[in-house]
Structure formats: C-alpha cells, structure tokens
Amino acid sequence: MIGAGAVAAVCALVAAWLLLITTPAAISEGTAFEAAVRCEPVGEASDEASGDCLRTVGARVDRTEQVEGRKTPSYRLYVDEPDGTTGRTTLGGSPAKSPAATPGARVEVTYWRGQIRYVDFEAGRKYTHADPRDDYKLFAAWGLAVGLYGTGFLWCWYWLTRRARLARRAQPWQLVLFFLAATCLAVVGGLAPWATDDMGAALLLVGQATAVTVAVCSVAAVFLWRRQGGDETIDVPPSVPAEEKHFAGQILGEVPYADRGTHLVAGAGYLASTPGHAGMAHRRSVPGSLTPIRVRHPYWTDPSSPAYEGRAWVLECEDDGVPVLIVTHRKHMPWVVGALAPRP
C-alpha cells in the first residue's frame, strides 16, 4: 500500500513537471519560431541582435560527417559563410542520398536564436534537428505515459486503503484489471503526440481512449464481480497423506507456532511448520487444540502472506478462541485438511 502510494506520487510529480512546465515551454518556442519573420536589412530596426528573426545566409558546403550510434540515420553538415564564419548543423538522412550536400555545393542556411533551423538546398528545403516545432512531442509523450501509468499505482493505493475492507475477498483481477488498463493507456499517451499535429488533438485522442477503456473495464469488473459471488466457503475433501508431505505454506495468528517458517509438513494426524523445504529442522508442531473451521479464498484483511501465483487458499481455524489462518497453494490444501482431521 505504501509502495503503491509512493510510486503514484512520484509519477504524478514527474507528469506535472513535463506537462505543465516543460511541454508548454517547448510549445511556446515552436510557436515563436513559426511566427518569426525575416530580419530587416542591416541599419533598419530589426530583431537580428536578439536572434528572434530569421536570418538567412548563403554558404558553401565544406564537408559532411555521418553520425554513428543512432537508430535513425543522420549526418552533420559543415558550411562556410562568405565572412569566413563556419557553421555546423545536424540533419536527418544520409549525405550519400543527398547529392546536393556534396562539398562545394551552394546552400542557404537560416538562423533563429543562434542556431541553424533549416537549410535550403537546390533540391529543396530541409529542416535540421534544431527545428523546435515538434520538440514538445517528446516531453508530452513522456508526461502522458508516466502520468497514465501512475494511475495504475494510484488505483492500487485507493483499493487497498478504501475498498479492500468492503470487498473482503482478494482477487487478482481487482488490481490487475485496472493496472493493465492504465498500462494500455500509458502506451496510447506515449504515442498520441506523435500521431497528432498539436497538443489539443493528442489530449482528445487520450480522452477518447480513456472513455473506451473505462467502459470496457467497468463491464469486465461487473462480470467478474458477479462471477465470484455466492458462498465463500470452499468444499475441500480431506486427503490423509500416506507419508509426510513437505510443501510451501504458512501459519498466521497470535499463537506460538505461527510465523515460524515458510513451509509445512503434513502427515497422518500431524501438521507442523518449518523454515526450510527439507522440513527436518526447527519443526513447530500444531497442537491438538487447533480446530479447522472452513476453507476460503484469501481476504484483503488477512495478514500478509504469499499469494502462490494467485492460487492461494486459506484454512480458517481456532485455537482456544484465538483465530489462526493456514495459507497454502490450493493443490496442497487437501493434505492440510487431512492432517487436521480427527482420527477414527
């Protein structure tokens, strides 16, 4: 419960920082670039000194250099300007597939806020990796993905703190169903900014996916809830072991022989807990005063115990008025019931 709440809080803080601070700043820069105008000629009032206008300079290609280590091919373009200034920028693709990027070719490079934002070749315009128009997509994708993924942990925290006592019976789907839905929505959120043209469209896509997911999960939850209804008592025919059986299990309760190990040893009229699978050392036998009551599914309110891959069963017992629980895998429960069955 504490872990789920902590992870949900961290995800919420990271998502808030990405979506409320970083993404708007990137969108603002991209909007400013799209709204930028050409710099006025030298000597007239202009924004050239601050770099907020578009300054285009004719240049020659000095050389190109393939960038290694990236999944998508890219290369660095070095240019020489008429005043002797050397510029460098990075473009996507390969210079081998761009004949216009050969050394000596004439190009026009356009600066904005001190960086080359696009290059005009003879074959056309190509934007560089410094193009800020889509920079927001990376921050938005991570923000939406982390935020939506965190809702899965938020649901786990909410269920364990608010709904567990009302639901009583612990079923994996009560957490897994909605956590899986949150994971799927996180994938949608991570892809939405790349599949749309602006942040509003990305949020609309995530909203539509959320509505569909909530509807599907609600129907599935109602079906699973009704399916688990009815008597919670499980009929387990006792099976008296012909020889001692050693298996994973745990005894829980305010009795001296509880919490003494992670394994149980069952035999004819004999049940003990042991810390190891061998079952020979440090055994703690169950007294004859322990009376089995019923076998049931685990409850959220039960003390913490192994889930045995979601197949745990619980044997409710009583020892002189003290509640005792024996938890093990469902396939081993007949041995436990048989070991506690009264001998003829």
Tens of pLDDT, residue by residue over 120-132, are 988 888 999 999 9
Answer yes or no: are the C-beta atoms of 127 and 110 closer than 8 Å. no
**What pLDDT is recorded for position 45?**
43
pLDDT value, residue 122: 84
DSSP assignment of 76-112: EEEEE-TTS-EEEEEEES-GGG-GGGSTT-EEEEEEE
User: What per-residue confidence (pLDDT) applies to 1?
Assistant: 66
**Whether 261 contacts 275, CB under 8 Å:** yes
> Smallest Cα–Cα separation from 233: which of 155, 296, 180, 147?
296
d(CA 197, CA 238): 65
For the record, the structure tokens of 85 come out as: 């200034």
Residue 44, CA distances (Å) to 35, 83, 219 in order: 20, 21, 68
CA distances, 312 to each of 169, 248, 249 (Å)? 12, 11, 9
In order along its 344 residues, the chain shows pLDDT tens digits of 678 788 889 999 999 999 999 999 999 999 999 999 988 765 444 445 556 899 999 999 999 888 887 778 889 999 999 888 888 999 988 877 766 788 888 999 999 998 999 999 888 889 999 999 999 999 999 999 999 999 988 887 877 776 555 556 656 667 778 888 899 999 999 999 999 999 999 999 999 999 999 898 888 877 776 766 555 778 888 888 878 888 989 899 888 888 767 888 888 888 888 887 665 667 888 888 888 988 888 887 777 777 787 788 899 899 888 999 999 999 999 999 998 876 54
> What SS3 state is found at 236?
coil
Q: What per-residue confidence (pLDDT) applies to 57?
A: 92
Cβ atoms 194, 138 nearer than 8 A: no
Of all residues in the chain, what percent are helix, strand and coil, respectively (each to 5)? 40, 25, 35
Give the pLDDT of residue 147.
94
